[in-house]
Structures are given as structure tokens and as C-alpha cells.
Amino acid sequence: MSQKSILITGCSSGIGHHVAHALKDRGWRVFATCRKPKDCARLESEGLESWRLDYEDPESIRTGFEQAIERTGGTLDALYNNGAYAIPGAVEDMPTDAFRACFEANFFGWHELTRLAIPVMRRQGYGRIVQCSSILGFCALRMRAPYIATKHALEGYTDVLRYELHGTGIDVVLLEPGPIDTRIRENSRTHYERWIDTEASPWKGFYAKIVHPRLYADDLPEDGFELGCEATTAKLIHALESPRPKDRYFVTTPTYIVHWMKRLLPWSMVDAVLRRN
């Protein structure tokens, strides 16, 4: 049996980095891509095959995908869309261009790459497309609107794609992690500083008292619910290697709790809980 191949995005750190190494250790041929060439060089030094693929750069999406296909001789067993970022801030402080930028990286680029993968998987008669969504793909919290909007869009998009590809041999799966120990908070600082004018905001006091201490803290108090990246990797392995993968995989206790809250409780009660966070 030939070695299975997977193209992964967002591998510079966090979930993507952990997954890339774990799958390589399991015998997969891993193409671990990321936005910055220096991170690609580091991944190469770690023994991974890596090159640049930036969701905000359509040309890099095309060339990055073509490089994977060239290396396998025209096949691809799996695609794991993973790279994304957040922009903290209140909705009324968020310029429309900030939403556009976030959607380009977290949604439109994913669609671009997915459309390249589907014809290859159709020709070979099989494949797995796994999308890394979030608990925020089906619930909302304050100060996270662009990220939440992209993940809600991704959930609906992925459901439609799964329906349309039913019977083709291509499985489409959602991963929905809750709090995972990654660098998403640190990585969001530059986007926050670029887009949010805190001095002119009616939320100025909230930013100073609530947002800044969390966003810029070197170490946050331990969260009893937060898990390491290995929790997501375990679910991804099942999604990739099971003969019959689930449509959705929840990761972390809060994800299960919110899922059942939204199914069992009145909307008013759910809102009362979530708007305090």
C-alpha cells in the first residue's frame, strides 16, 4: 500500500505544527505549509516537507497545491484546512476592511484551496477534506466577531460540501475544538493593533480592564478546560483513518457543553450565559 499524503496549512505553531509531526510519525507523507518562508525553513529543519502557502495570496495557494501534487505524482489523500487568525474588538469598532481581511484568510482562501483539491480527489475516487472550525463556529462571545463570523460561515459551507460530495468517495469532516493551548492570542495582537482604535471607542474602559490584560499577558491563569494540541490531533487521526469518519468531532469539554446547551435550553438562557463571557 502506498504512503498516504496530506496537505496541511498553518503549520508554523499550535495545532498545525503538532498534527504535522504526529501524522509524519504515523507514516503519512506530510506537506506542512505556512505563511512565512522562515517558518517553512524551520519546519524543513525538523524533517517535514514544507513550503509557503498563504490563504491571503491566491498565487501561493495555487503554487503551493501544485507542489504537493507534483511530489505525489498527481494524487492527494487528504487536505486539512487549518490556518486562521482572530481580530479582537467590538463590532462597532471593527472596520469593514478588517472583516474582509479575516474572511480572506479564514474562509475565502480555504475555499480556493478546497476547489483545487476536489478534482484531484474525484479523479482518484477517494479523499478526505477536514476543516478546523471551532466552538465559535456554533456559538458567539463578545469581542470576537470577525473570527466567529468566518467560523459560522465555514460550518454552513462544510455541511453543503459534504452533501454535494456524498457518494463520490470524498469525505468532508468538521473538527470543532474548544479552548486549546495555541498561539492564537499572541498572533492576534498585531491585527488588533492594526484595526482597533481604542482611544476613540465607547469600549475604551473595557479594553483597558478586560481585553488588554488577557491579550498581552505573558502567562494566563490556568484554565481547567484548556487542553493541549494533542487533543485535536487525536480527533483528526480518527477523522483521517477511520473507514467511516464522523461528520463532526468535538474537542474539549466546553464544546460538548455548549452543543447540548443550545439543543436543550431556551435561547434566552443560552444568551444569558454566553454574553457574560
Identify the active-site residue in 80, 85, 147, 192.
Answer: 147
DSSP calls for 68-124: HHHHHTS--SEEEE-------B-GGG--HHHHHHHHIIIIIHHHHHHHHHHHHHHHH
Quick one: which of 98, 80, 207 has its CA closest to 147?
98
Reduced to 3 states, what is the DSSP secondary structure of residue 5? strand
Instruction: Match 484568510 to its residue by C-alpha cell.
Output: 105
Beta sheet of 78-81, edge-to-edge order:
29-32, 5-8, 78-81, 127-132, 170-177, 248-251
User: How many angstroms separate the CA atoms of 11 and 40, rounded?
Assistant: 9
The secondary element (H helix, E strand) that includes residue 191 is: helix 189-195
Q: Backbone phi, then psi, for 128, in 5-degree steps?
A: -130, 130
Integer angstrom CA distances of residue 164 from 222, 226, 239: 42, 35, 19
User: How many angstroms separate the CA atoms of 270 and 78, rounded?
Assistant: 36
Q: Which residues pair with 34 in a beta bridge?
A: 52
To the query of whether residue 163 is one of the catalytic residues in this protein, the response is no
**Which residues belong to the active site?**
147
